[in-house]
Amino acid sequence: MSTGLSEQSAERVKELVSGARLTVITTHKSPDGDAVGSTLGLWHILRSAGKEAVVLVPDEVPEFLRWMPGFDGVRVFSEDPQGSSQLIAEADLLVSLDYNHLSRTGPEVETELRKSRAPFILIDHHQQPEAFAEVTYSDTRACSTAEMVYRMAVQLGWKDHISAGAAECIYCGIMTDSGSFRFPAVSPDTHRIAAELMERGLDHARVHREVYDTNLQDRLKLIGYALNEKLEVIPECAVAFIALTRDELERFNYRPGDTEGLVNQALSIRGIKLAAFFREGANEVKVSFRSKGYFDVNRFARGGWNGGGHMNAAGGSSPESVEEAIARFRIEVMALREEILKA
């Protein structure tokens, strides 16, 4: 059973929100459905309560998430660093959603956040949160940060401020981070929250269409190429992975979010217990890890991939070339062969 805020923390959140003229809501770099859904969901709630709030994301949001109500007002740091830095400096309250360490916002945003003298509220479900916030609401059993935003709103007496627009954003965060309600972290409470969101005016079928049924041909061709040409299996340790270079991504006119879910396709192979996806960027290789059973990819990602996350879903990065990163990954999983197979 997931938990809520302590009574003392709940009262302090009320005080901080009440006393803030401007609240800036932030999330992690490369924002996903939970990041965008939880931040916009909270934005709707605060606005309905008569508070001035702004959502600030570090970099570009994938197109399939830009339909969410309120997205037009989202500020993107990479598009306006000077204006975004000024926004952070003017904030009376900073709310950190869906990340456990300020470094997850990227070096530029992290620098500005650490300069701020405003208090922080942290709401997140990843393991080992950094102790930077005045109020930390951490629940690693929650399937999404969006679910935690909903529970906090109810606990603080803000349920009437959850409009149909807020419900859509929150549901999107829950749906995407729970793998459409299929991951182990989904609880009876998660389904109850979904039902309550429908009672608030949520059109759940529309949310699903907007996220999953708006693919461009280029994205489908990229996914087809990745699965047909780049999927590799290491059968002796039940591992599968996909790697895409910058040239390959450019060939299919890659846009942020186009490779979302590829790592899960690799994990879906019968008998596979650990999957990875490598995406070559300008200065680093981004890596996603997924696992079945009890192999802890959070620990694996923290061990040598500058990352972390959850037990069965984590991410990281490497300054190596994509070829070097893959070669090291092969060595590491072979060394962990027995642990992976037993998971």
Q: Mean pLDDT, to the nearest integer, of 218-224?
A: 97
pLDDT given at position 193: 98
Answer yes or no: do 164 and 199 share one domain.
yes
Answer yes or no: do 69 and 194 share one domain.
yes
Q: Mean pLDDT, to the nearest integer, of 313-337?
A: 96
DSSP β-ladder status, 308-309 and 135-138: unpaired
Can you tell me whether residue 7 is helix, strand or coil?
A: helix
pLDDT given at position 240: 98
**CA-based end-to-end distance of the chain:** 24
Nearest alpha carbon to residue 294 among 273, 266, 315: 273
Answer yes or no: do 177 and 257 share one domain.
no
Answer yes or no: do 208 and 248 share one domain.
no
Evaluate whether residue 207 is within a structural domain.
yes
Q: Mean pLDDT, to the nearest integer, of 323-327?
A: 97
Which CATH number belongs to the domain containing residue 306 in this structure? 3.10.310.30
pLDDT tens per residue, range 184-210:
899 999 999 999 999 999 999 999 999
Which of the listed residues 212, 241, 274 is the one where a domain comes to its end? Answer: 212
Answer yes or no: do 298 and 320 share one domain.
yes
Contact at 8 Å (CB) between 113 and 87?
Answer: no
Which of the listed residues 187, 212, 237 is the one where a domain comes to its end? Answer: 212
Residue 249: which pLDDT band, with cuts at 50, 70 and 90? very high
Segments of the chain assigned E as strands? 22-26, 52-57, 75-76, 93-97, 120-124, 135-138, 231-234, 239-244, 274-280, 285-291, 308-309, 313-318
Is the pLDDT assigned to residue 3 strictly greater than 80?
Answer: no
Domain that holds residue 256: 217-342
Is the pLDDT assigned to residue 320 strictly greater than 70?
Answer: yes
Contact at 8 Å (CB) between 95 and 24?
Answer: yes
Amino acid at 130: E
With vertex at residue 182, the alpha carbon angle to CA 222 and CA 343, rounded to the nearest 5 degrees, is: 90
Print burial letters for 198-217: b (CB count within 10 Å at least 16), e (below 16).
Answer: eebebebeebeebbeeeeee
Per 3-state DSSP, what percentage of the chain is helix, strand, and coil (rounded to 5)?
A: 50, 15, 35
Q: How far apart are CA 164 and CA 69, in angstroms?
A: 9
Which of the listed residues 212, 229, 260 is the one where a domain comes to its end? Answer: 212
Largest CA distance in the chain: 59
pLDDT given at position 1: 58
Q: How many CB atoms lie within 10 A of CB 138?
A: 17
Answer yes or no: do 15 and 150 share one domain.
yes
Give the chain's domain count.
2
pLDDT tens per residue, range 134-191:
999 999 999 999 999 999 999 999 999 999 999 999 999 999 999 999 888 999 999 9
Half-sphere exposure of residue 231, counting CA atoms within 13 Å on the CB side?
19
Answer yes or no: do 28 and 149 share one domain.
yes
**What is the sign, positive or negative, of the torsion defined by CA atoms of 258, 123, 190, 166?**
negative
pLDDT given at position 343: 84
3-state per-residue secondary structure call for 303-339: HHCCCEECCCEEEEEECCCHHHHHHHHHHHHHHCHHH
Phi, psi (deg, nearest 5) at residue 329: -60, -45
Partners of 291 in the beta sheet? 274
Q: Mean pLDDT, to the nearest integer, of 30-47?
A: 98
Query: What is the reported pTM?
Result: 0.92
**What is the sign, positive or negative, of the torsion defined by CA atoms of 103, 82, 35, 98?**
positive
